[in-house]
Amino acid sequence: MPMGFGDRLFWSIASAVAIGIFWLKFVEPYLSIWFALGIAIVVAVLIWKKGGQPKKTPLKASTSV
């Protein structure tokens, strides 16, 4: 089932928060928090592009005559 507008919005924000917290805990001494923002934007774009598409299921071949 494809994700609706609210689902995509929620997961985009939740992933941005999770990436930010992870970044502050482990990566921030080495790289600026701006890199985390860039990664969060890329993840949000992927969620928005791929989240609304239904799963592709292969078509079954018909064996009836």
Q: How far apart are the first and last CA of the chain?
A: 33
Distance CA 30, CA 18 (A): 18
Answer yes or no: pTM beyond 0.85. Answer: no
Average pLDDT (45-64) is 79
The residue ranges of every structural domain in the chain are 5-50
Q: Rounded to an integer, what distance in angstroms lies between the CA atom of residue 44 and that of residue 32?
A: 19
Residues near 54 by beta carbon (within 8 Å), at least 6 away in sequence? 1, 2
Give residue-wise pLDDT tens across range 21-54.
999 999 999 999 999 999 999 999 999 999 877 7
Nearest 5°: the CA angle 36, 39, 21 is 40
Residue 64's pLDDT band (cuts 50, 70, 90): low
User: What pLDDT shows up at residue 56?
Assistant: 74
